[in-house]
Structures are given as structure tokens and as C-alpha cells.
Structure 1
Amino acid sequence: MTSTKLQGKTALVTGGSRGIGAAIARRLAAEGADVAITYVNGAEKAEAVVAEIRAGGRRALAIKADNRDADAVERSVKEATKALGRLDILVNSAGIWRAEPLDSLSLADFDESIEVNLRAPFVASKAAAALMGEGGSIISISSNLADRITDPGLAAYSASKAGLVGLTKALARDLGPRGITANVVNPGSTDTDMNPADGPHAEHQRQKMATPRFGDVAEIAGLVAWLAGPESRFVTGSAFTIDGGANT
């Protein structure tokens, strides 16, 4: 798939070395954007994504940045902007999964969930907004579990992801007058190495869906690409659930 809808645009995708983040990075590049990604571990996977994007004729780079480190997150935004010459699109995709019943959920795990899933997107969004011009887009990847708690043990994860929805709506208000949009995508069960469609918990998840199958990362990436593109400029402060009807 090739397009020119994002021709001349640049993007930073946090957590872009694997799963949904990597699919988003590839799709934005296929739409014409130059793309930087961040990663924590797995430098080889990150460089493979970069090599694939470059092979398609776009500029790309991988930046090591841990979402637990606010300074590293801020530096990654500045480094991406310097390397690519500008910043038009930020996708907050990096995240962690912590699921424990309340009586065994540690404060450290709760704090880490907030740090990675909520504080880091705030840091990245603030840094990116300072560098973006009119037409910029901030898109955050939350979860359908931000809206509907389907199982026990989700206090840390759902709190962090629900906070991300609230943050996005607030960003839309703050940045709208500058022509910068902010939206959030709430995926449901999506086939990745962290939650494979043939994994031990897959059938339990499928039973909750109106369309009983796992999502494909390309489907999430397609929605993100639309939100980053010219056809969605009047869309901001919105949350898009893409979960096969699990929250229906």
C-alpha cells in the first residue's frame, strides 16, 4: 500500500519496534511520512522496522527511550524533530500491561503503569506540542479496557488507560486554537506477540466480541493513519474504540 496523504509529514511513534506500534510506523511511512520510532529493548527489531521504512523510500530512525524516564521521553521528541527537520505527528503507542487482583497489586506496579501508560504520553505530548505547527496531530493508543472493565485485576491498567483518554480530551481543548488535533484509539484484543490470537486466554476474549475474532495490527494502524491525515482535521478530542464489538 502506497499513498501520498502524509507526503512531507514527519512522525514519531513511541514503542514502534513491535506489535501495534510497528504496524503504525509502517503504515504512516506507506502514506508518505518520514518516521522515527522509540524502543526500550530489542534494538534489532527496531532497526528492522527502520530498514523496512527506508527500503520504501522514506527516512526513518530508531531512538532508544524508556517511557519510565521522563527526560529520555522528552529527548526522544527533540531528537526525532532534529533528525527529520520537523514534527507533525506524535503517536503515543508505548505501554505496559500489569494485571493483578487488588489484594496483590503492589504500589510499585501501579506507579509503573501510570508512569509508562499516562505520564510518558503527557511528557511526549507536551514536548511535541511545543514543536508542532498548525496541522499537527497527537494520537494516543489507550484500550477498550479504559471504558469497560470486563475482568478483575485491571485496577492499574484500566486507571492508566482511562487517564490517557482524559488527557487526550484536555489536550484537544488546549491545542485546538493552534490547529493541533488530539485523539485516542482504544483497541480491543489484537493479535500481537504479547496477546496472540492462539494464546491461552484468546477464547475467553473472543467470547466477549460481537465479531468473534482478534483484530489485526493493520486495522489499528489504518485508523491511526486516518486520524493523522487531512480527512480528519475536524476530528479532535474523540475516542475511537476498535474492538470487534466487545464493548457493545
Structure 2
Amino acid sequence: MELSGNVSAVVTGAASGLGAATARALASKGVKVAIFDLNAELGEAVAAEIGGVFCEVNVTDDASVDAGFAKARAAHGQERVLVNCAGIAPAAKTVGKNRETGQPKAHDLGLFEKAIAINLVGTFRCIAKAAAGMVTLDPLDEAGARGAIVNTASVAAQDGQIGQAAYAASKGGVLAMTLPVARDLMNDGIRVNTILPGIFETPMMASMPQQVQDSLAAMVPFPKRLGKAEEYAKLALFMLEHDYLNGESVRLDGAIRLGPK
């Protein structure tokens, strides 16, 4: 797909981090970008910066997502691109300890369900609703291409660490559904690919002490640093532009393989 002013896109979780970098990269190509996020202050700022539109969206809520797509399409027309970056990264062991009593404490199922609801179900919800609109579009070429979707999983989907049961399960689901969703949409000309980021510079990472960030960077085989959001965006755009790349999941991690902790 040629990314240009004739294309519109929706990026979830685009008020900061990987999503914001992707929104900026798409806008630099002339693409009309709608930003889906719960953070109105940051989202409006990114939208103003790139000449896009901000839509306050909760990906766990059907009505909120429907309203977001309606606003985005009213401003830019039916999107041909969806990039899913909205997500959370909770940490809790399957069995921990009560801090007050020291007694064993089972994982909070509410936290587990929240991770699944946002990272997995929220991703699929946006995929299904975006694709339902994309199939109504005229093909872009003789092959019948209508649109492209990029999802965000994590290296934790394949080598989740201690305390990442909920996170790994949610991101593992994103990884697992990539191929079947691509197959579901193959006759509609919609490609679906997924990125598995490693340890990246994000707002959450920036809140950690510098010593911790340096320690994490040292774990990466090469280059020995944290990934940059712009590098994620570069791969996302490559996936969108490469017409033969479909049903694929790619690790973007400097060759790191996470140990138990």
C-alpha cells in the first residue's frame, strides 16, 4: 500500500509511546491520522502536532470504539490502516504474598481479566470494526488490496517472565490470532501482521530509575540499548507498505531472549 494523503489511518494508544511515534510517522507520509486514546490532554496535543483528529476511546467498550470510528470517519473518511498500540503491562505472580500477613495470595483475577480485556479483546474489537469498514472500499489495485492492519504483541508472548502471566497471556493471544485473522480477511484484501517489541523506551520505562534502564539495556545482545519508539514505527510502516507481507509476526528486540526474571 502506498501511504499518502489518499489514505486515512486509526492508531490506538497513540497519545504516547509506540502509538504516538507511529502516528507521527504516518502523518509524515501525508496519511490522515485519527488518534484513539483515553488520555485527552496528550492525545489532543499529538493530534494538533500532526494535523490529525483525537478520539477519546476506551478499547474495552463497544460504544466508545464505535463512537471513535464514527468521529474518525467523519473527519477523514473510511480508514484503510489500523495500528493497534493500546495496552497495559500489569505485573503479578500467580501466587504471591499478602504484604501485611505474609500469607500466600492468589493472583487478582480482576487484574488478569483487565489485561485480557484491553490487550487482547480490545485489539480484536478494533480489528473487527475497522475491517468491517475496509471491506466496503474499492480495491486499490488489481490484486484487490483494501487495507492493512498492524498489531502489537510483545516478546513476552514467547518468553514471558516471572510476574507476567496476565501480560504474556494477553499478548500471546494477539500473536496466536494474527494468522487466523489474516486468513479470515484474505478474500477481502486486508493484510494483518503483528510486531513483538522487546524492551523499548516508553513513558512507563522512563519512570524507572536510570540504573534500572541501564541494566535492562545491557541485557540486549546488540545493539546494547533500549529500542526507540521510532524504530517500532519504522517497522509498522514497512508492514503497511509491503504488499506481500501478511499473517506474519516479527520480533523487534535486538535479539534478546528474556530469562525468568
TM-score normalized with structure 1 length: 0.90
Deviation at 1:204, TM superposition (A): 4.0
Deviation at 1:52, TM superposition (A): 1.1
Corresponding residue to 1:173 among 154, 175, 183: 183
Corresponding residue to 1:213 among 219, 222, 225: 225
CA contact (8 A) 2:60 2:122 kept: yes
Deviation at 1:144, TM superposition (A): 1.1
Name the CA distance, whole Å, in 1 between partners of 2:120 and 2:69: 16
Q: Which residue of 1 aligns with 2:82?
A: 90
Corresponding residue to 1:189 among 186, 199, 204: 199
Deviation at 1:247, TM superposition (A): 2.9
Corresponding residue to 2:158 among 147, 150, 160: 147
Name the CA distance, whole Å, in 1 between partners of 2:80 and 2:129: 12
Does residue 1:17 correspond to 2:42, yes or no?
no
Q: Which residue of 2 aligns with 1:50?
A: 47
Q: Which residue of 2 aligns with 1:159?
A: 169
Deviation at 1:198, TM superposition (A): 5.6
Structure 1 unaligned blocks of 5 or more: 55-59
Q: Which residue of 2 aligns with 1:108?
A: 110
Alignment of 1:6-85 (within 5 A): 6-41=4-39, 43-54=40-51, 60-85=52-77
Deviation at 1:244, TM superposition (A): 1.1
SS at structure 1 position matched to 2:58: coil
Residue deviations 1:173-219 (CA, integer Å, cap 9, x gap): 01111110000011111111111386453244224311120011100
Name the CA distance, whole Å, in 2 between partners of 1:247 and 1:136: 33
SS at structure 2 position matched to 1:130: helix
Name the CA distance, whole Å, in 2 between partners of 1:161 and 1:220: 16
Name the CA distance, whole Å, in 1 between partners of 2:110 and 2:25: 35
Deviation at 1:50, TM superposition (A): 0.9
Name the CA distance, whole Å, in 2 between partners of 1:108 and 1:126: 25
Residue deviations 1:20-72 (CA, integer Å, cap 9, x gap): 1100000011112000001112x221111111112xxxxx1000111232321
Structure 2 unaligned blocks of 5 or more: 97-106, 138-144
CA contact (8 A) 2:34 2:54 kept: yes
Matched residues, number: 236
Residue deviations 1:111-157 (CA, integer Å, cap 9, x gap): 000000000111111111111133301111111111112x2001000
Name the CA distance, whole Å, in 2 between partners of 1:180 and 1:5: 15
- Give the alignment's Cα RMSD to 1 decimal: 1.7
State percent identity of aligned pairs: 33
Moved over 2 A (4+): 4-7, 196-208
Name the CA distance, whole Å, in 2 between partners of 1:127 and 1:5: 21
